[in-house]
Amino acid sequence: MHRNTYTVTIKNKLHVLWRGLRLIQQKIPSLLPATVAGALLKSFSPFITIYLTARIIDELFGAKSVPRLTLLVSLAVSLNLIVFLLQKGMERIRDTGNYRLLYYGLIEMDQLILNTDYENVEKPDFHLKKQKIEEAFQVKYSGIWRLPDLADLLISNLGTVIFSIGLAFPLFTTFSSGNRSFFNSPWLAVLFLGFILLSATYSVVANTRFSKAVFRKMGDVPSVNRAFSFYGKMMQDYHRGKDIRIYQQQKLIDKAYKDFQRKSLQTFGIEMAKMQARFLGTNAAISSLISGFVYLFVGMKALVGLISIGSVVQYVGAISQFTSGFSELIKSSTDSWQNLDYVKLYFDFLDTPNPKYKGTLPVEKRSDNDYEIEFKNVSFRYPGSELYALKNLSLKMKIGQHLAVVGRNGSGKTTFIKLLCRLYDPQEGEILLNGINIKKYDYQEYLNLFSVVFQDFQLFAFSAGQNVAADIAYDRKRAIDCLNEAGVGSRIRKMPRGLDTPLYKIDADGVDISGGEAQKIAIARALYKNAPFIVLDEPTAALDPVAEFEIYSKFQEIVGNKTAIYISHRLSSCRFCDNILVFDKGEMIQSGSHDELIQDEKGQYYALWQAQAQYYKENNEQAFSS
Ligand SMILES: Nc1ncnc2c1ncn2[C@@H]1O[C@H](COP(=O)(O)OP(=O)(O)OP(=O)(O)O)[C@@H](O)[C@H]1O
């Protein structure tokens, strides 16, 4: 059972590795070949010096032939130069490739967020996964972008181990037949090899332990980072600056931040540093011990005349290359193995399923806007929620109708709009467009039917014109007309660059706008889209009473033959509508015109109307009497 899970883990990890390498090869074809070539050159280069220096020393202590010495020195210099230049060339290709990989990897995640089903965007898990990927990247550079670096380390260290074994091989296999000294005994070679293997094994164990401990400690990083970024954002966000000053929260924030820094430094930084010092100290002691033995073993062999002086340089060099190469190989292998967990996280995120059924039916383009939408026994619960946000809703929206949706907070009004636009699909019942289930239509085409100003609408730090047109290139006259209709044209004209002025101060010449102005720009955006259905969810919440009146009185004319849906808590605005739907706890409990509904004195609409009328009366009387 245990073994089985282990095999599955290995298989999964190898699959992730294969997928990662294939992806890199497809997107940046030069990166992996340059990495492999660079790694081989890197591992080969020290051996040129070791081998040729040994030969030069032998020549100096032996025949002293000047032409041979010249040849050896020129060979050493030119080979080193060639390898160095090739290595640098590969490094350049690798650096550019790595940069492109980083860019590609991050963009790919952002693309997913922009295009995935809306349902995913509202799930906290979805964002947590992305946060983990980004944190692993920021703190340890782990993830898909580290694959080439780790491949470089693995190949170069493996190369070092292989080349050093090749160069040190004769030391353990060549014996002088006439010499019966202890240093010529194969048993000494075996003993020495045993010692090297023992310390290498220790190095494997210590490395794995250390990597695991670091990995465990890294588990604390996301929460530490989250807190750091929380404090960072809190202090940088100039919108919070007002509250901080008015309530004099500087001391509170400063103390909380310092306490957190102290705690995280203690539990994370100091403990990690201690662990590292212990590990590095033991490693340094072992490698000095090995060096001592190597010098003793090789030196004694040379002393009793079994090997040449040049060979001392060759063997000592090769064995020390082997020990450092071997320990680095182990370290890079454990790092690579753990990095695959982050690569898997990256692919899991990219593989986030899109549950929405995607239809292909084109939406008929009608110049008469003759579209009818019907909700048939629609019920809906948000994912993970037991409660119905909408229950058994049935209604028809006919072309050109002006519809108001009213009800207390949380009664399901916005949810109704979300279902209408297919941001979510109902669990029960169906929604039909001209008699066909909306799921069967091509989603993008279906979305073209709607302009919505959500309660929590968002504008972006693009230019005012681009915000209105939701595009880079757009019809300037139409944008100005829509801004005028929404009552914010004169404000935009007064901005330093008119339509081209960036909104918000993220841009150096950006302009901050008021909440009401933002709402008017959002209305202009809805008008610019010119869709057959226009939905306004609390469209005048941030507007002053005069602007509100203007918008409502003009809307009749602006909206024209479009089907309009207003969600509003101000019942006075409902009088403009043909039909009013009253929602309560997810159900539609009343519908009809204002005049009809107001007749039902036991109904919810009457109660809401009376409550509002009473409130306005009392407040106005109070305001005007003082
Ligand atoms: N993303 C969500 N996940 C879970 N429950 C939600 C979500 N959004 C809304 N709800 C719940 O669904 C119910 C209906 O919410 P909805 O936003 O549709 O109400 P509303 O009538 O528009 O309210 P308001 O007048 O306050 O805007 C509420 O109980 C709300 O808490």
- Are 346 and 377 part of one and the same domain? no
For ligand 1, the distance from its centroid to the CA atom of residue 109, given in whole angstroms, is: 28
**193 within a domain of the structure (yes/no):** yes
For ligand 1, the distance from its centroid to the CA atom of residue 586, given in whole angstroms, is: 9
- Are 327 and 382 part of one and the same domain? no
**Which residue's alpha carbon is nearest to atom 4 within ligand 1?**
382
Task: Show which of 350, 382, 414 is a domain's final residue.
Answer: 350
Work out how many domains the chain is built from and give that number.
Answer: 2
pLDDT score, position 447:
92
Residue 220 banded pLDDT, cuts 50, 70, 90: low
**pLDDT (tens digit per residue) in 25-43:** 999 999 999 999 999 999 9
User: Best substitution site from 378, 382, 419 to test ligand 1's pocket, by max atoms within 8 Å of Cβ?
Assistant: 382
Residue 206 banded pLDDT, cuts 50, 70, 90: confident
186 vs 45, more confident: 45
What's the mean per-residue pLDDT of the chain?
Answer: 86
Q: What is the DSSP string of 510-547?
A: -B---HHHHHHHHHHHHHHHT-SEEEEESTTTTS-HHH
**Which residue's alpha carbon is nearest to atom 24 within ligand 1?**
409
- Are 255 and 383 part of one and the same domain? no
pLDDT score, position 70:
94
pLDDT at position 409 over 70: yes
pLDDT score, position 516:
86
For ligand 1, the distance from its centroid to the CA atom of residue 451, given in whole angstroms, is: 20
390, 425, 448 from 419: Cα distances, Å: 10, 6, 15
Mean per-residue pLDDT for 571-596? 86
55 vs 508, more confident: 55
Alpha carbons 414 and 537: distance in angstroms, whole number: 7
**pLDDT (tens digit per residue) in 447-461:** 999 999 988 888 888
Give the CATH number for residue 199.
1.20.1560.10
Measured from the CB, is residue 123 less than 6 Å from ligand 1?
A: no
pLDDT score, position 215:
67
pLDDT at position 1 over 70: no
pLDDT score, position 4:
67
**366 within a domain of the structure (yes/no):** no
Mean per-residue pLDDT for 615-626? 63
518 vs 622, more confident: 518
pLDDT score, position 256:
83
- Are 438 and 570 part of one and the same domain? yes
pLDDT score, position 623:
56
- Are 327 and 403 part of one and the same domain? no
pLDDT score, position 458:
87
The residue assigned the tokens 């699959």 is 15
pLDDT at position 593 over 90: no
pLDDT score, position 346:
95
For ligand 1, the distance from its centroid to the CA atom of residue 412, given in whole angstroms, is: 6
Alpha carbons 339 and 335: distance in angstroms, whole number: 6
For ligand 1, the distance from its centroid to the CA atom of residue 413, given in whole angstroms, is: 8
Alpha carbons 287 and 279: distance in angstroms, whole number: 12
Burial 138-172 (b: 16+ CB within 10 A, else e): eebebbbbbbbbbbbbbbbbbbbbebbbebbeebe
Task: Show which of 319, 350, 381 is a domain's final residue.
Answer: 350
Cβ–Cβ under 8 Å, residues 295 and 316: yes
The amino acid at 426: P
- Are 161 and 63 part of one and the same domain? yes
SS3 state at 441: strand
**pLDDT (tens digit per residue) in 89-131:** 999 999 999 999 999 999 999 999 999 999 898 888 888 888 8
At 234, list the tokens: 């809190």
**361 within a domain of the structure (yes/no):** no
Task: Show which of 316, 350, 384 is a domain's final residue.
Answer: 350
Mean per-residue pLDDT for 578-591? 90
Q: Which of 84-88, 221-225, 555-559, 576-580 has the lowest mean pLDDT?
A: 221-225
**pLDDT (tens digit per residue) in 292-342:** 888 888 888 888 888 888 998 899 899 889 888 988 898 899 889 989 999
**pLDDT (tens digit per residue) in 351-371:** 999 888 888 888 877 766 678
**360 within a domain of the structure (yes/no):** no
Measured from the CB, is residue 385 less than 6 Å from ligand 1?
A: yes
Measured from the CB, is residue 568 less than 6 Å from ligand 1?
A: no
Measured from the CB, is residue 119 less than 6 Å from ligand 1?
A: no
- Are 270 and 395 part of one and the same domain? no
Give the CATH number for residue 410.
3.40.50.300
pLDDT score, position 369:
67
Residue 266 banded pLDDT, cuts 50, 70, 90: confident
pLDDT score, position 212:
75
Mean per-residue pLDDT for 586-603? 88
User: Best substitution site from 123, 390, 391, 413 to test ligand 1's pocket, by max atoms within 8 Å of Cβ?
Assistant: 413
- Are 296 and 390 part of one and the same domain? no
- Are 181 and 329 part of one and the same domain? yes
pLDDT at position 237 over 80: no
pLDDT at position 88 over 90: yes
pLDDT score, position 252:
85
For ligand 1, the distance from its centroid to the CA atom of residue 454, given in whole angstroms, is: 13
For ligand 1, the distance from its centroid to the CA atom of residue 297, given in whole angstroms, is: 79
**526 within a domain of the structure (yes/no):** yes
Measured from the CB, is residue 402 less than 6 Å from ligand 1?
A: no
pLDDT score, position 376:
96
- Are 109 and 237 part of one and the same domain? yes
pLDDT score, position 356:
86
Closest of 345, 342, 536 to residue 453, by C-alpha: 536
Mean per-residue pLDDT for 510-526? 90
Q: Which atom of ligand 1 is nearest to the CA of 385?
A: 4
**357 within a domain of the structure (yes/no):** no
How many CA atoms does the CB half-sphere of 370 hold within 13 Å? 4
pLDDT at position 404 over 80: yes
For ligand 1, the distance from its centroid to the CA atom of residue 585, given in whole angstroms, is: 10
Mean per-residue pLDDT for 449-477? 91
- Are 342 and 415 part of one and the same domain? no
**75 within a domain of the structure (yes/no):** yes
**Percent of residues, the chain, with pLDDT higher than 90:** 42
Q: Which domain holds residue 408?
A: 373-625
252 vs 56, more confident: 56
pLDDT score, position 368:
67
**pLDDT (tens digit per residue) in 274-301:** 888 888 888 888 878 888 888 888 888 8
Alpha carbons 435 and 361: distance in angstroms, whole number: 13
Measured from the CB, is residue 481 less than 6 Å from ligand 1?
A: no
Cβ–Cβ under 8 Å, residues 224 and 264: yes
Cβ–Cβ under 8 Å, residues 122 and 287: no
pLDDT at position 14 over 90: yes
125, 442, 461, 464, 557 from 352: Cα distances, Å: 11, 21, 28, 34, 44
**pLDDT (tens digit per residue) in 523-578:** 999 999 989 899 988 866 667 777 777 776 677 777 777 888 988 777 777 777 88
- Are 339 and 414 part of one and the same domain? no
Mean per-residue pLDDT for 468-483? 93
For ligand 1, the distance from its centroid to the CA atom of residue 386, given in whole angstroms, is: 13
Q: Which atom of ligand 1 is nearest to the CA of 586?
A: 14
**pLDDT (tens digit per residue) in 135-185:** 888 877 889 999 999 999 999 999 999 999 999 988 887 776 666 677 777
Cβ–Cβ under 8 Å, residues 163 and 319: no
Closest of 593, 536, 608 to residue 566, by C-alpha: 536
**534 within a domain of the structure (yes/no):** yes
Q: Select, from the ranges 85-89, 113-117, 236-240, the one with the highest average predicted confidence (pLDDT).
A: 85-89
Q: Select, from the ranges 187-201, 375-389, 528-542, the one with the highest average predicted confidence (pLDDT).
A: 375-389
At 395, list the tokens: 């209604």
